[in-house]
Chains A and B, each alone.
Chain A
Amino acid sequence: MSVAIRRSLPLVITFIAGLLVIGDYYLRIPDYNKLVSNWMSFVNVASSFAVIIGYVTLTRIHARRLTQRKAGWYNSAALIFAMYGLLIWGVFLSGGKFTADSAYTYWFNNLYVPLDSTIFSMLAFYIVSSAYRAFRARSAEATVLLVSAVIVMLGRAPVGPAIWPDIGPITSWIMAVPNTAGMRGITIGVALGVLSMGIRVLLGRERGYLGPGA
Chain B
Amino acid sequence: MMLATLYMSVKGIRKPTIRKIAGLDAIGEAVGRATEMGRPVHFTPGIAGLGTDTGPQTLAGLSVLSHVAELAAKYKTTLWTTIRIPSVQPLAAEIVRQAYVKAGAPEAYDEDKIIFLSDTQFAYASGVVGLMHREKVAANIMIGGFWAESLLFAEAGYLTGAIQIAGTAQTSQIPFFVAACDYCLIGEEILAAGAYLSKDPVQLGAIWGTDYAKAIAIIIIGVGLVLSLAGNNVLWKLLSGPLWT
CA separation between A121 and B55, bound complex, in Å? 27
Q: Chain B residues with Cβ under 8 A from A149's Cβ?
A: 175
Interface residues of A: mostly helix, strand, loop or mixed? helix
Cα distance A183–B187 in the bound complex, in angstroms: 10
CB pair A130 B118 closer than 8 Å: no
Question: Is B148 touching A120 in the complex (CB atoms < 8 A)?
Answer: yes
Give residues of chain B (146-181) contacting chain A, Cβ–Cβ below 8 Å: 148, 151-152, 154-155, 158, 169, 171, 175-176, 178-180
Q: Are B180 and A134 in contact (CB under 8 A)?
A: yes
* Interchain CB contact under 8 A, B179 and A135: yes
B63 smallest CB distance to A (angstroms): 9
Q: What bracket does the count of chain B residues touching chain A fall in?
A: 35 or more
Bound CA span A122–B121, Å: 14
User: Is residue B101 within 8 Å, beta carbon to beta carbon, of the partner chain?
Assistant: no
- Which residue of the partner chain, among B86, B93, B151, B207, contacts A127 with CB atoms under 8 Å? B151
Q: Is B179 touching A134 in the complex (CB atoms < 8 A)?
A: yes
Instruction: Give the complex CA separation of A145 and B119 in angstroms.
Output: 33
In the bound complex, residues from chain B placing their C-beta under 8 Å from that of A134 are 154-155, 158, 179-180
Q: Which residues of A contact B3 (CB under 8 A)?
A: 199
Which of B21-29, B209-217, B231-239 has 4 or more CB atoms under 8 Å from chain A? B209-217
**Interface residue from A58, A196, A208, A211 paired with B118 (Cβ < 8 Å):** A58
* B132 adjacent to chain A (CB < 8 Å): no
* Partner among A116, A120, A145 whose Cβ is within 8 Å of the Cβ of B175: A145
Chain A: minimal CB distance from B245 (Å): 8
Minimum CB–CB distance from B208 to chain A (whole Å) comes to 9
Closest A residue to B164 by CB, please name it. Answer: A134
B122 CB-CB contact with A under 8 Å = yes
Q: Does B35 contact A (CB under 8 A)?
A: no
CB interface residues, A 140-182, toward B, < 8 Å = 142, 145, 149
A contacts with B, residue count (CB < 8 A): 45
Contact indicator per residue, chain B 42-66, by CB within 8 Å of chain A (1) or not (0)? 0000000011010110110010000
Quick check: A142 and B206 within 8 Å, CB to CB? no
Top 6 A-B pairs, shortest CB-CB distance: A134-B180, A212-B94, A209-B50, A197-B56, A192-B210, A196-B206
- Contact surface of B with A, Cβ cutoff 8 Å: 2-3, 6, 10, 50-51, 53, 55-56, 58-59, 62, 86-87, 90-91, 93-94, 116, 118-119, 122-123, 125-126, 148, 151-152, 154-155, 158, 169, 171, 175-176, 178-180, 187-188, 191, 202, 206-207, 209-210, 213-214, 217
**With A188-B214, A190-B188 already in contact, 6 other A-B pairs whose C-beta atoms are closer than 8 Å:** A130-B151, A192-B213, A193-B191, A196-B6, A196-B206, A209-B55
Residue numbers of A with Cβ under 8 A of B are 53-54, 57-58, 61, 116, 119-120, 122-123, 126-127, 129-131, 133-136, 142, 145, 149, 183, 186-190, 192-200, 203, 205-206, 208-209, 211-213
